[in-house]
A and B are shown apart, each in its own frame.
Chain A
């Protein structure tokens, strides 16, 4: 019951937020929150450390930008095309990587994502160093002008909530049960007759598609897709967000993303702008040493102890 009250409070807060805080900042935050939650599906629930998720986030960012700007697709369809392409790319990379374990899986996903990065650097449609600029925001459902930041915000919020709902359901589904069994004890899951590679592959594809949805949405908000979205820094950042917020908790990665995006925003404008990586690095070290479960994970344990 407490859980539902918590969800309702957060929802209410999200609904009034654009009148209190700069909406573009909030939209950026929601996009990264969705990215981190999608990433957590494969790291936290699938037990696989992917170091190539920037390929899905950034790849979808470019494809959606191109689909809306050049092909003239409506915004919603553009997002779906981006997310769908990310899922297909996820399937391709997943097929090559899924049999590997631990560090090898991280290395292969990194290598394949770098290949995707070089493709995007050299392809014409990405605009190279300049990125893909001037993507029109369009309208939502053909009615609401998304050029208006408040309208855009509610559109992004809707996308985020849909993505989050898909993740929450996946975790709490028959598939989610098998996935957690595999994460808990892979040989045993095999001996019960489950084809573990295929289950992991589905989790990877879902994670890639939703990460793509996040990147695609970000393109629409900023009307821009750039090479930083596909750079391996982005893959590292999402790991950091997820670990900071709480691995394998539903809401944790969103909280981690909020913390990192907020810090980046405030530090970037102040005197500390050159120190952003150092500050983030320090936070990461403290988090790994002192709060292994992440912000939400530690809070949960604390709540359980006090009540």
Chain B
């Protein structure tokens, strides 16, 4: 199967209907290994729904999904994660009552296999602290290790999310609008960070900020009303008049 060599993720005829309304319409998406692949499109185009389908948070109405050549159409969400495909969420997804260190540690903890051990002291997790702090350092959160995640500024929460995701050493990361609602400085920092962590990984990201898309992404898929409008590199896609129209339509 030469296909599975090139493409880490592939969908065929992926469709999701909500009570007669088609949110995702016959999507054939191919994500090449080690690419940063962007999924863009106006509000309500179905981007988050595609993510929910890929990670099995939603069951597709029709169509198949393959990861590394393996059909995952019938796999459970937690299992998807254990296969090395980790998603983030459009709204920031930290554990608000835990510290930043604990947030990262709870991800590292999974591989320890002690998640059901209710008789062990929590100090048995201290061996993971060094790695947790290393990851926090990587995303520039050295000084936030003991901060309660819920109290951290928005941009820092998103950085913490990335650190938590990286703790699982994912082969494929799905980021849903990682720079949404951020100031310019934060956008810059997150962009750098994504570039840094993209080595030896594949990233599929939803992103509205076209500046970020143009600097980071190898390939772009444009979604409109649930269907793929066009696909290609930034120059091709940005020159396409239909893409401009789709975005104008959103503004009007």
Q: Give the shortest distance, in Å, between B88 (CB) and chain A (any CB).
A: 8
Asked if A59 is an interface residue, CB under 8 A from chain B, the answer is: no
| Contact of B97 with A196 in the complex, beta carbons under 8 Å | no
Name the residue in A175, A181, A187 with the highest tally of chain B Cβ atoms < 10 Å from its Cβ. Answer: A181
| Contact of B122 with A174 in the complex, beta carbons under 8 Å | yes
| Contact of B119 with A177 in the complex, beta carbons under 8 Å | no
| Contact of B95 with A184 in the complex, beta carbons under 8 Å | yes
Asked if A306 is an interface residue, CB under 8 A from chain B, the answer is: no
Asked if A215 is an interface residue, CB under 8 A from chain B, the answer is: no
Asked if A176 is an interface residue, CB under 8 A from chain B, the answer is: yes
Asked if A270 is an interface residue, CB under 8 A from chain B, the answer is: no
Partner of A173, one of B79, B86, B98, B119: B119
Q: Give the shortest distance, in Å, between A194 (CB) and chain B (any CB).
A: 6
Of B64-72, B100-108, B197-205, the one with at least 4 CB within 8 A of chain A: B100-108
Q: Give the shortest distance, in Å, between A30 (CB) and chain B (any CB).
A: 23
Helix, strand, loop or mixed for chain A's interface?
Answer: helix
Asked if A178 is an interface residue, CB under 8 A from chain B, the answer is: yes
Asked if B78 is an interface residue, CB under 8 A from chain A, the answer is: yes
| Contact of B107 with A192 in the complex, beta carbons under 8 Å | yes
Report the Cα distance A256→B89, complex, angstroms.
38
| Contact of B117 with A194 in the complex, beta carbons under 8 Å | no
With A173-B120, A191-B77 given, is the CB distance from A178 to B109 under 8 Å? yes
Report the Cα distance A191→B93, complex, angstroms.
10
| Contact of A199 with B110 in the complex, beta carbons under 8 Å | no
Partner of B168, one of A176, A181, A189, A192: A192
- The residues of A that contact B88 with a CB separation of less than 8 Å are 191
| Contact of A177 with B118 in the complex, beta carbons under 8 Å | no
- The residues of B that contact A194 with a CB separation of less than 8 Å are 78, 110, 115
Size range of the chain A interface in the assembly: 20 to 34
Asked if A202 is an interface residue, CB under 8 A from chain B, the answer is: yes
Report the Cα distance A188→B95, complex, angstroms.
8
- The residues of B that contact A198 with a CB separation of less than 8 Å are 116
Q: Give the shortest distance, in Å, between B66 (CB) and chain A (any CB).
A: 20
Interface size, chain B (Cβ < 8 Å): 38
Asked if B12 is an interface residue, CB under 8 A from chain A, the answer is: no
- The residues of B that contact A181 with a CB separation of less than 8 Å are 95, 98, 106
With A174-B117, A175-B117, A177-B102 given, is the CB distance from A187 to B93 under 8 Å? yes
Q: Give the shortest distance, in Å, between B182 (CB) and chain A (any CB).
A: 19
Asked if B81 is an interface residue, CB under 8 A from chain A, the answer is: yes
| Contact of B96 with A174 in the complex, beta carbons under 8 Å | no
With A190-B77, A191-B87, A192-B168 given, is the CB distance from A172 to B121 under 8 Å? yes
With A177-B102, A192-B168, A194-B115 given, is the CB distance from A172 to B122 under 8 Å? yes
| Contact of B119 with A185 in the complex, beta carbons under 8 Å | no
Asked if A145 is an interface residue, CB under 8 A from chain B, the answer is: no
Enumerate A42-70 residues with CB–CB distance to B below 8 Å: none
Enumerate B186-239 residues with CB–CB distance to A below 8 Å: none
Asked if A170 is an interface residue, CB under 8 A from chain B, the answer is: yes
B84 nearest CB neighbor, chain A only: A193
Partner of B114, one of A172, A174, A189: A174
Partner of A177, one of B96, B106, B168: B106
Asked if A180 is an interface residue, CB under 8 A from chain B, the answer is: yes
With A177-B105, A177-B125, A193-B78 given, is the CB distance from A187 to B89 under 8 Å? yes
- The residues of B that contact A173 with a CB separation of less than 8 Å are 117-122
Measured CB to CB, the residues of A under 8 A from B are 169-170, 172-178, 180-181, 184-185, 187-196, 198-199, 202, 206
18 further interface pairs, Cβ-Cβ under 8 Å (given A187-B93, A192-B86, A193-B168): A169-B119, A169-B121, A172-B121, A173-B118, A174-B115, A174-B122, A175-B116, A175-B117, A176-B122, A177-B102, A184-B96, A188-B94, A190-B78, A191-B55, A191-B86, A192-B107, A192-B164, A198-B116
**CB-CB nearest 9 A-B residue pairs:** A193-B81, A175-B118, A184-B95, A188-B93, A170-B118, A174-B114, A193-B82, A172-B122, A178-B115
A-B contact pairs, 21 of them (CB 8 A): A170-B119, A174-B112, A174-B117, A175-B116, A177-B106, A177-B109, A177-B122, A178-B106, A185-B93, A185-B95, A187-B57, A189-B95, A190-B81, A191-B77, A191-B86, A191-B87, A191-B88, A192-B164, A193-B78, A198-B116, A202-B116
